Amino acid sequence: MRAVAAARAALFCLATFLIVTDANADAVTDCSSSPDPDQRIKGCTSLINGKKLAKKGLAVAYAQRAIAYYEKKDNEKALADATKCTELDPKFALCWLTRAGLLDQNFKFDDALAAYAQYLKLIPLDAKRCDALMEKANAHFRKIFWGQVFDNVKELGGKEVPKDAPIPDMTPEQKKQREKELGEAVLNLSECILLDPKRDDAYLQRGQYLNQLGRHDEGYADYAQAYAINPNNTDALSYLATGAFNRGEHTRALELTEKLMKLDPDALGTQEMYALTLEKLGRKDEADKLKKLVDAKRTCSKAGDKSELQASDYDATAAGCTIIIETPDAETKWHRAAYELRATIRTKQRKYAEAVQDYTRCIELADNDKSKAFYHQERGANLWLQGQPQEAIKDLDEALRVTPGEARAIELRGYAHYKAGNMAKAEEDLKQAVLVNPNNHAAYAYLGDLEYNRSNFDAAAKYYSKAIEINPKFAAAIQARGSCYEKLGSKDEAMADYRKALELDSTLAVSIAGLKRLEEATLPPAVSEAKAQCDAALTALDQGQQVDFDQGIKSCTAVIDSGSASPAILASVHEARGEFHTRKQNFEAAIADFTRCLELAGNSDRSDYFYQQRAYSLISLGQYDRGIADLELVLKKKPDDARSIEMRGFAYFQLNQLDNAKADFTRVVQLEPSNSNAHMGLGDAERLGKKCDAALPHYNKAIELAPGGMSGYFIRALCLEELGRKDEAVADHRKALELNPGLPESTEALKRLGATAQAP
């Protein structure tokens, strides 16, 4: 509150004058002038308890302590001290001002107004009264507002007011009270203006209250006077522009808004007002262009702290930045901010080349060396990530020339030197980086990589351990340390690290392979041979080679039944056997294997694949609802997984839920425009819905994408026959027979159509 701040400033001089000289000198200094509220409380309490102060000095000490408590947000103690001050010296004006401000802050407006009135009685009739009169006017207004929100404002005490406190409609009694309080506020401000006619803030405030009383012409005149006194008063100018707009004086509103934009070019509300005024004047194209720019600026502004940007906001925020960038008359400051924010987003999206371009523009637009250094640093980071370490080093050297010792630039240059093969320079920078920031886990990990590449596995493990100590969830460092332990022959420690790394990130290939390698080394010879046969069969299947599925199943079963396989080995063997059962259409057995895979995999990323494979077998057995349930578990984590959406679409189709099927196949086409199966699915859904004319374009696209597929021609032929396009249907059946000689369905269809398999 301004009243408390004003009292604090005045008490600074009074305290040193009034407190008796034989009191403790340190306590006097602390009580009167310490910037630390705790120290002031300590000093004032010492003086109060020392009982050496005269009544006036004691009042000052209580007043000082009240303000210190207020600064600590201990309103109850603050108010108690301010009240004590007025009791000790009822004619000490500053005590009343302090008490008024604290009562006001505690929503005790009637008591606050009485305290302001008492203060005003005790001070001279001069311009210095204006601040108190304005505070008293504000208290009248706050009494109305909070009285409208809360039934009994006095019950609030010092509690925090909810930000979303509702403002209900006013009762007739509240409306009368509102007029009374606003009238009192206007009187207070009128007295201030009489004492100091140059107070533009008093005219502005009175104008607001007059407007709320419905006395708009008087309010508008006050805004005009405030602006006349202070042409830089943006609030007065804003109210004048709004008033002109509301009265339909759009040319005047435009003129005032233009002035306002010159004074405060960053005020988006003003720019929005300008656009609305242009629209009223029939300049719609200009208005639409400005609205678009304002919306873009608002989007960029809402991004706030770039570190808190959410992935879901990236595209919309980047689009807003692009609009600003593509608006030539947007301010340079906005251009630079837009380029910087878009560059940040592009870095997060791993669009490093585009981020480099944006940071290049930032460098060109920067108005000081420090800003340029930052942009060189960030461009260097993206060049390094893009695989251009030498160019990155040039940027980082430039950044460090301007800001030597900048920890991030040193760290990034170390990474760039490492990528460029400058190991000695990389080590120098990275060691400096951890010296500047001992908690830099990434730099420690890179130092570990340096030692690993030198085959200094013991030293590397120590660096990785330091990185892990700082960040216990640093999966890559845990994996790397596991590799060191394996190289050093510490197999148990290596396996423990690989397992821990996979708990944190189930996709880490080195950990998967390392754990598999170490665990397989412990298998009995016969089991190891069976595992090798199982793996060989799966590899052959993946490569499209002919596989003896029965032998593959037999080998996998031998490993499973041995009782000596670890959970990781069991998961891989059940997966292989599940694949073999699927190919043999042993769907029940496949379901059992993939269910076991899910039990062993837990919540790892690999579980998504197992759900998909189990869903395939469930759908193949006609258990569509169960299959859909498995696929939706995948889609919760990966909503754009095209394979899962396609399989679900097929299940919906089989359940005759054609709208759901079409929605899924449409989404697959959006994600994978060249997916012929999805186009076929859309065609089938339309055909089953008796819409062959709508189905044909989808079949046409499916055939265009996969001209060697028989089913596209056969199904399209059925649609063409239904539409009465006999010749085209015959041609498609003949093409289907060409691709699949002897196809009975097409052979029968041609007989039905009175045609032969071969064209005459």
For helices 93-105 and 109-122, angle between their N-to-C axes, nearest 10 degrees: 160
State the pTM of this model: 0.55
Taking the CB of residue 365, how many other CB atoms lie within 10 A of it?
A: 17
Taking the CB of residue 240, how many other CB atoms lie within 10 A of it?
A: 23
| Contact status, residue 297 vs residue 334, Cβ threshold 8 Å | yes
- Looking at residue 463, its pLDDT comes to 95
Cα→Cα distances 247→241, 244, 734, Å? 10, 5, 78
Q: Read off the pLDDT of residues 15-69 as tens digits, 9 standing for 90 and up.
A: 554 455 555 778 888 888 888 999 999 999 998 898 888 888 888 889 889 989 9
| Contact status, residue 30 vs residue 40, Cβ threshold 8 Å | yes
Furthest CA-CA distance within the chain: 128
Query: CA 460 to CA 480: how far, in whole Å?
Result: 9
Higher pLDDT residue, 313 or 163?
A: 313
Secondary element (H or E) of residue 679: helix 676-688
Flag whether pLDDT at 626 surpasses 90: yes
Flag whether pLDDT at 442 surpasses 70: yes
Flag whether pLDDT at 345 surpasses 80: yes
- Looking at residue 354, its pLDDT comes to 94
Flag whether pLDDT at 151 surpasses 50: no
| Contact status, residue 518 vs residue 495, Cβ threshold 8 Å | yes
- Looking at residue 629, its pLDDT comes to 95
Judging by beta carbons within 10 Å of its beta carbon (0-12, 13-18, 19+), is residue 703 exposed, middle or buried? buried
- Looking at residue 18, its pLDDT comes to 47
- Per-residue pLDDT averaged across 79-99, rounded? 89
Q: Read off the pLDDT of residues 693-750 as tens digits, 9 standing for 90 and up.
A: 888 888 888 888 888 878 888 888 888 888 889 888 888 888 888 888 878 888 888 8
Q: Read off the pLDDT of residues 203-243 as tens digits, 9 standing for 90 and up.
A: 999 999 999 888 999 999 999 999 999 999 888 888 888 88
In terms of average pLDDT, the best of 121-135, 268-282, 349-363, 694-708 is 349-363
Flag whether pLDDT at 625 surpasses 60: yes
- Looking at residue 148, its pLDDT comes to 53
φ/ψ of residue 293, rounded to 5: -70, -40
Q: Read off the pLDDT of residues 357-380 as tens digits, 9 standing for 90 and up.
A: 999 999 998 889 999 999 999 999
Flag whether pLDDT at 551 surpasses 60: yes
State the alpha helices, DSSP H only, in 349-406.
352-365, 369-386, 389-402
| Contact status, residue 135 vs residue 2, Cβ threshold 8 Å | yes
| Contact status, residue 669 vs residue 649, Cβ threshold 8 Å | no
Which residue in this structure is represented by tokens 């509220």? Answer: 37
Phi-psi region of 754 (alpha: psi -120 to 50; beta: other; left: phi over 0): left
Query: CA 416 to CA 419: how far, in whole Å?
Result: 5
| Contact status, residue 221 vs residue 206, Cβ threshold 8 Å | no
| Contact status, residue 102 vs residue 91, Cβ threshold 8 Å | no
CA 139 to chain centre: 39
Query: CA 292 to CA 272: how far, in whole Å?
Result: 10
Judging by beta carbons within 10 Å of its beta carbon (0-12, 13-18, 19+), is residue 420 exposed, middle or buried? middle
Secondary structure (3-state) at 675: coil
Reported as a pLDDT band with limits 50, 70 and 90, residue 271 is confident
Flag whether pLDDT at 261 surpasses 90: no
Reported as a pLDDT band with limits 50, 70 and 90, residue 153 is very low
Flag whether pLDDT at 273 surpasses 70: yes
Cα→Cα distances 694→681, 697, 702, Å? 12, 7, 14
- Per-residue pLDDT averaged across 59-85, rounded? 90
| Contact status, residue 734 vs residue 750, Cβ threshold 8 Å | yes
In terms of average pLDDT, the best of 89-93, 465-469, 570-574 is 465-469
- Looking at residue 757, its pLDDT comes to 67
Pick from 106, 98, 144, 102: which is nearest to 122 by CA? 98
Flag whether pLDDT at 553 surpasses 90: yes
Which residue in this structure is represented by tokens 């996998």? Answer: 556
Per the prediction, the chain carries an average pLDDT of 86
Flag whether pLDDT at 1 surpasses 60: no
Secondary structure (3-state) at 1: coil
Query: CA 682 to CA 700: how far, in whole Å?
Result: 11
93-96 long-range CB contacts below 8 Å, 24 or more apart? Answer: 93/119, 93/122, 93/123, 94/7, 94/10, 94/11, 94/14, 94/63, 95/59, 95/62, 95/63, 96/122
